[in-house]
Structure 1
Amino acid sequence: MNSIFENNFKEHGFTKQTLIQEQVYEPLKEGKSVLGLAPTGSGKTLAYLLPLFERIDKAQGVQLVIVAPSQELAAQITEVARQWAKLVDLKVLSLIGGANVKRQIEKLKKSPEIVIGTPGRMLELTESKKLKLHNAKAFVFDEADDLLTEQTLVACRSLLSHAPGIIQLAFFSATKSDMFDKLHQWFGTEVEVFDVRADDQTQGKVEHFLVETPVRKRIDTLRKLSNLEGFSALVFFKKVTEIENAADKLNYLGVKVAVLEGQQRQVEREKALRQLRKGEISLLLTTDVAARGLDIEELPAVINYDLPKDSNTYIHRVGRTGRMGASGTVINLGNEHDLRNFRQLVQSEKYELHFGAVYRGSLLRIEELPEDVKEGQPAKSQVETVPRKKKKIAAPVVTEKKRHKKRKRDQLNKGKRRKKEDL
């Protein structure tokens, strides 16, 4: 590692590199293309920034392009990159949608060596010849499993087509995607794979709770959780409309909340994240897209108001807490049926799931509740995959009064049919 980076590394309190940082440093510094797979919160951003910074020449135009799937993640990477780039006198520019494009064009005239942004905005600037990539040496695709999908794969490849034909590529992700087996097909280059997910030890202790809650009571459950001492959380929803509805109800109940979603202006999103980091709000309501890859230092908890659609989504959600050795809590809300299906969904990931409940200002496992409170709480057997027995429905009781009405109605209908036949 560059001695300047090494000294700053130690000043930030890091005693040694994480596993992914250690394994990809030399290959990236030597110009090799890599695929890095490591858990959320394991230091992937610095894993590619520091070695690639060592390949950049000053005042030679854009040489490093970092692509992120969301504006929030791009802004976060930019903040980290600037802290380290200034040590070696390199300029960093953020190019994201939602920000003033004219101001971005003006800053491009100052010839930054590193640009970081979302594929749509960078492609727009490239095609208008404002962003010039003819001197680019390396492209990084962060959260690559999310970027290399139908929606953004085309934009990523189009952006790359404006760079030199032979270029270093780096793909980083917390989860494996089928697309990673086709990187040579789509990008025309062989990549060296570094998968440290099984061996990485950076994640702290994270408890996973199942809290049985019908839909009509979930807002009240959020209220109770927000009142826990020192509690704050990212709350994941499926739809933006549900977020807005929940925010209105929670505000009415006096809960300090903010919303993070894709349609907001950049300044509003930055304000929401700042409020959560400073403890000014207890709940930040968001979606998977808006919160992908966010690093919120020592975030106490993640709440799944709507349970995730697949195990990969769950991995990325829960990765917002318990980062770099800190402890964390994940709270999954749902009815009995939802939780039963959810357990099947994530069983391959081997998470230890505990049933829990909020009791007297604490979130406790069911077995920790007093005996007189346990009654009515979900037991383990209630969410096993064994099908439940159907209740027998008793036959309706027919009274003499009902029989008389039915006989009279039958006689009336019989008379109507005879009249029709006579006609």
Structure 2
Amino acid sequence: MISEFKEYAKKLGYQQWTAIQKAVYTPLISGENVVGIAPTGSGKTVAFTLPLLERLRGSQGLGLIVIEPSAELAMQTQKTLLEWGKLIGLTVQGVVGGANLGRQIDRLKDHPNVLVGTTGRLMNLLELDKLKLETVQAIVIDEADNLLSEETLDPIRTLVDRAPDEVQLGFFSATQNDSLRHVNRWFNQKMTTIDVTSIDDTRGKVRHGQLEVSNRKKEQMLLRFLHLDDFKALVFFNQVSTLQKVSGFLIHRHVRETAKLTSEQNQTSRQNALRDFRKGKVRLLLTTDVAARGIDIPKLPAVINFDLPRDEKTYTHRVGRTGRMHQAGLVINMGDDHDLRRIKQLVRDQFDLSPIYFNGNQLSDTKPVQTDHPDETSYIQESSDRKPVEAHKQPRQPHQEPLAHSNKHHKKRKHLKRKGMRHKRKAKG
């Protein structure tokens, strides 16, 4: 490794390289095509950044393209590449959807050495003949298990076909799938697969809890997490429609410590939500798998599965947001008894799930003593500056007819008055 990178790594406090960083360095700097599999948060971005930038040192024009599944992840990766690239005089540009296309085209005239972008915007530039690939030495497909799907596989293959025949390819992912196992068929290249999942030691201790709650009470249960000290979490939903409904519920109750992160928002709104979440202004960030893919939140305490994931791959990506780089983490799976049994069965080969409870305003391993009000919403406490939730209202008692002998405090009934009038008319006649 070049001295500039060694010195900067020491300055950043790197004590040792992670398993994926050590494993792919030599193959990548030697020009091999690599499929790199490593857990989320194990340093995959730095793993491909250092050897590929080192190969580019002193080169002219565009030499490296990194493809990301979202604008947020592209900007995150761009920041890392720029941080290391400037040490050796390399320039980096980001091209993502939602940003001004004309401005991006103008900046391409400066001939950046590295381009980080989303598939759609890269294809826009290619179709407009504004992106020239003649000098490209390497292409990295990050979050490859996601990007090699039906929707984006063909555009990526088109981009690779337009590059020189000897272009080096790198595919990086937290999980293995059929597309990655047979990636050589899609790109007609010999691949070296490096999977360090079994030897990676970057994960901190992460507890996977099961919080039993009925589906109709999940919204109110979220309020309880805001009473935990120093707590914040990514809250995952399967559908944007459910996320919007829950967001509306929280807004209606004047809760200001939550925000949304969805693919439907514009780029500025998503950036603001992430910034406020990283700073702690927002403590519950409601999101989906698509919107949160690959996002790095340093020292994130917890992940909440409001909707339980449908497969093990999705579960792995979600829980990988917490417990990074030796930090402790917590995963809270919410659902009824049937849902929790299903998710435990789904991930039992990889994760150990155990019951978790709310005991007052604390999370506990011990089931709380049953009270006169066993409904979980009876535990919810609101801060003094918020309106009490409806769960605190006393239930309306069913209507009861007064007893016959207890009507002295009530107005005379109309039929009694009419009876008296009939009696009077009869007597007069």
Tell me if both proteins adopt one fold, taking TM over 0.5 as the criterion: yes
* 8 Å Cα contact 2:210-2:354 kept in structure 1: yes
- 1:278-335 CA-to-partner distances (Å, cap 9, x unmatched) read 0001111110011011110000110001100100100000000000011111001111
Question: Partner letter of residue 42 of structure 1?
Answer: S
Question: Does 2:234 align with 1:203?
Answer: no
- Taking the aligned partners of 1:374 and 1:57, their CA distance within structure 2 comes to 71
Question: Partner letter of residue 305 of structure 1?
Answer: F
- 1:135-171 CA-to-partner distances (Å, cap 9, x unmatched) read 0000101110000010110111111121111211011
Q: CA deviation at 1:119?
A: 0.8
* 8 Å Cα contact 2:359-2:368 kept in structure 1: no
* 8 Å Cα contact 1:301-1:329 kept in structure 2: yes
Q: CA deviation at 1:374?
A: 13
The corresponding residue for 1:82 is: 82
Q: Name the count of aligned residue pairs.
A: 375
Which stretch shifts more, 337-346 or 145-154? 337-346
* 8 Å Cα contact 1:59-1:111 kept in structure 2: no
Q: CA deviation at 1:371?
A: 4.7
- 1:69-88 CA-to-partner distances (Å, cap 9, x unmatched) read 11111111011111111111
Superposed, 1:387-402 pairs within 5 Å as none
- Taking the aligned partners of 2:252 and 2:359, their CA distance within structure 1 comes to 23
- Taking the aligned partners of 2:309 and 2:28, their CA distance within structure 1 comes to 34
- Taking the aligned partners of 2:373 and 2:55, their CA distance within structure 1 comes to 64
* 8 Å Cα contact 1:91-1:114 kept in structure 2: yes
Q: Percent identity?
A: 45
Matched residue SS, 1:90: coil
Superposed, 1:31-46 pairs within 5 Å as 31-46=31-46
Matched residue SS, 1:324: coil
The corresponding residue for 2:125 is: 125
Superposed, 1:366-385 pairs within 5 Å as 368-372=366-370
* 8 Å Cα contact 1:204-1:328 kept in structure 2: yes
The corresponding residue for 2:102 is: 102
* 8 Å Cα contact 2:209-2:331 kept in structure 1: yes
Question: Does 2:180 align with 1:180?
Answer: yes
Question: Does 2:27 align with 1:27?
Answer: yes
- Taking the aligned partners of 2:285 and 2:294, their CA distance within structure 1 comes to 15
Superposed, 1:251-400 pairs within 5 Å as 251-255=251-255, 256-349=257-350, 351-365=351-365, 368-372=366-370
- Taking the aligned partners of 2:193 and 2:266, their CA distance within structure 1 comes to 37
The corresponding residue for 2:157 is: 157
Question: Partner letter of residue 116 of structure 2?
Answer: I
Q: CA deviation at 1:58?
A: 4.0
Matched residue SS, 1:271: helix
* Residues 374/304 of structure 1: CA separation in 2 closer, same or farther (3 Å cut): farther
Q: CA deviation at 1:372?
A: 5.0
- Taking the aligned partners of 1:96 and 1:118, their CA distance within structure 2 comes to 5
- Unaligned 5+ segments in structure 2 are 377-429
Matched residue SS, 2:45: helix
* 8 Å Cα contact 1:126-1:162 kept in structure 2: no
- 1:218-277 CA-to-partner distances (Å, cap 9, x unmatched) read 111111012211010101111112111111111222331111111211111111110010
- Taking the aligned partners of 2:217 and 2:85, their CA distance within structure 1 comes to 49
- Taking the aligned partners of 1:221 and 1:364, their CA distance within structure 2 comes to 15
* 8 Å Cα contact 1:96-1:117 kept in structure 2: yes
Q: CA deviation at 1:340?
A: 1.3
- Taking the aligned partners of 1:257 and 1:201, their CA distance within structure 2 comes to 33
Matched residue SS, 2:291: helix
- Taking the aligned partners of 1:58 and 1:120, their CA distance within structure 2 comes to 30
The corresponding residue for 1:387 is: none
Q: CA deviation at 1:205?
A: 0.6
Q: CA deviation at 1:373?
A: 6.4
Matched residue SS, 2:146: helix
- Taking the aligned partners of 1:324 and 1:312, their CA distance within structure 2 comes to 21
- Taking the aligned partners of 1:263 and 1:104, their CA distance within structure 2 comes to 22
- 1:155-212 CA-to-partner distances (Å, cap 9, x unmatched) read 1111112111121101111101111221111101111111110111100011111111
- Taking the aligned partners of 2:355 and 2:367, their CA distance within structure 1 comes to 11
- Taking the aligned partners of 2:372 and 2:263, their CA distance within structure 1 comes to 41
- Unaligned 5+ segments in structure 1 are 379-423
- Taking the aligned partners of 1:269 and 1:236, their CA distance within structure 2 comes to 15
* 8 Å Cα contact 1:183-1:190 kept in structure 2: no
Please report the TM-score for the alignment, with normalisation by the length of structure 1: 0.86
